[in-house]
Amino acid sequence: LALVQDGTHMFNFSNLRMTETVEESKGLNEDGIPKVIISASGMCDAGRIRHHLKHNLWKPECTIVFVGYQGEGTLGRSLLEGVRSVKLFGEEIAVHAKIVNFQGLSSHADRDHLLAWIADIKAPKPQHVFIVHGDREVAPYFAESVEKLGFTAHAPQYTEVYDLLEDKIVAPGYLPERKAKAVGGQRVSSAYERLVALGQRMVDVIRRSKGRDNKTLGRWADQLRQLLDKWEES
């Protein structure tokens, strides 16, 4: 709030209107004037953004623009995956607005930045690192990457109980089976979601491999091609 009041913040340009109260924010959907609404709660699961979505998702002339990562199971992810309607405040809202995703603008650190950050921690070194943020299919792989840096790490499962003093799992948790979702009229299984997560991880690894010698990259490319050819033939 102090950044907003002192007049020197980054959101300080002509024709910008700041709405500080909930009433002012709701009023943006009532005047009928074309506008760009910048709202927080980027995954759309809480906050004023849900009111804006309720009033604008059903309008074909509107565009919903995402500029940050949308976690699995959130309303934002559902919109990106093409749902045709969503429930907001007890009402079923049709999705006719254009949905756009601007990648690369998220303020969250990515995998490489997180690993660089924790690798720089010399003392006191964390006794145990818990991976509690991120898609559940990817979190265990990230924990493995943290362990390769010399830390003890794991991704806790749902309902897991961990004794910090004893540094051990007291009661193991489990991963609830996700309900298959409908995307584009088709049901999507949890196995398919794991496959997509692994595919995204593979793309990240490929991008980080830029600059490695041609022989190594060529051999890997041949292995991937053989695997894909075998899959398509099965």
Q: What is the pLDDT of residues 93-103, one digit of tens each?
A: 999 999 999 87
End-to-end alpha-carbon separation of the chain, Å?
59
- Respond yes or no on whether the N-terminal peptide bond of residue 124 is cis (omega within 30° of 0): yes
Q: What is the pLDDT of residue 104?
A: 72
Place 149 in a pLDDT band, splitting at 50, 70 and 90: very high
Pairing mode of beta strands 186-188, 181-183: antiparallel
What the block records as the tokens of 221 is 């490319």
Q: What average pLDDT does the chain have?
A: 83
Q: What percent of the chain has pLDDT above 70?
A: 86
Q: What is the pLDDT of residue 100?
A: 93
Q: What is the pLDDT of residue 8?
A: 57
Flag whether pLDDT at 226 surpasses 70: yes
Tell me how far apart the alpha carbons of residues 78 and 181 are, in angstroms, rounded to a whole number: 9
Residue 125 vs residue 191, higher pLDDT: 125
Flag whether pLDDT at 160 surpasses 60: yes
Place 2 in a pLDDT band, splitting at 50, 70 and 90: low
What the block records as the tokens of 233 is 């033939």
Flag whether pLDDT at 185 surpasses 50: no
Across 42-48, average pLDDT:
83
Place 180 in a pLDDT band, splitting at 50, 70 and 90: low
Helix (H, G, I), strand (E, B) or coil at 202: helix
What residues contact 190, with CB distance under 8 A and at least 6 apart? 177, 178, 180
Q: What is the pLDDT of residues 66-77, one digit of tens each?
A: 987 787 778 998
Q: What is the DSSP letter of 88?
A: E
Place 152 in a pLDDT band, splitting at 50, 70 and 90: very high
Across 202-229, average pLDDT:
87
pTM of the model: 0.56
3-state percent helix, strand, coil for the chain, nearest multiple of 5: 35, 15, 50
Q: Identify whether the C-beta of residue 43 lies closer than 8 Å to the C-beta of residue 70.
A: yes
Pairing mode of beta strands 98-101, 63-66: parallel
Q: What is the pLDDT of residue 22?
A: 83
Q: What is the pLDDT of residue 230?
A: 85
Flag whether pLDDT at 64 surpasses 70: yes
Flag whether pLDDT at 166 surpasses 60: yes
Across 184-211, average pLDDT:
72
H helices present in 22-138, as ranges? 22-27, 49-56, 75-80, 111-119
Flag whether pLDDT at 227 surpasses 80: yes
